[in-house]
Structure 1
């Protein structure tokens, strides 16, 4: 089976590199081909990397609270670049302050994200969701 390709990075003016490296390591160990574009990444870097690698998903991380601003319009830009329907995930401290998470999720869904993860979400949850969403199965069924 061909490995699924994921584009991973930290969006906007966010320079939180440690979590990005941990995600990269865990996703690679889980069997994914990870294209890590690093920190301080504009939307265009995620999109260009996804186009160049024929990625199956884009994972956007943000820890400095401005993710909502940084992520606006990314689904439309993906569609324009020929990535219509690509799986979009976002997680971390994506908004400022302690906001109602249901409302945060609703706003990010409206922006076109498929999965929205609050602070403290385990990487195992993300890996499980990716496997489910990308249809990765084993001889025993879906992992």
Structure 2
């Protein structure tokens, strides 16, 4: 049992996090976005060389840039109190639509893993198991995919 009161724990966490400022752009993104941004830069260079539409970066659209800014801000806020964070691309192939690319923020702290994903009303071809959203929605789920656990 915790001997500290909940208010004391929250106070310590708030002090540790400090002031959080939402990023207005991605000029100085958090390192948790580094691998994804490097992959996008490679896709951009390949697209410029080839001109083929299938070589285009996945996350150039304003909607995705906004999601990246949100994830960068969340990671900056969580980094002082949470373990390891990484923004990644997860692909899902849907027959008749093709491959959908999603941004996912993976949070790792000891044995606890979470996955945060933003769903937009404009997302096309949403998976059958997920209802369409009417407003931009942040989904928080357990991150079982990294553990090899399947339901």
Task: Report the TM-score, using the length of structure 1 for normalisation.
Answer: 0.25
Larger Rg: 1 or 2? 2
- Give the structure, 1 or 2, with the largest relative contact order (CA under 8 Å, sep 6 or more): 1
Task: Report the TM-score, using the length of structure 2 for normalisation.
Answer: 0.24
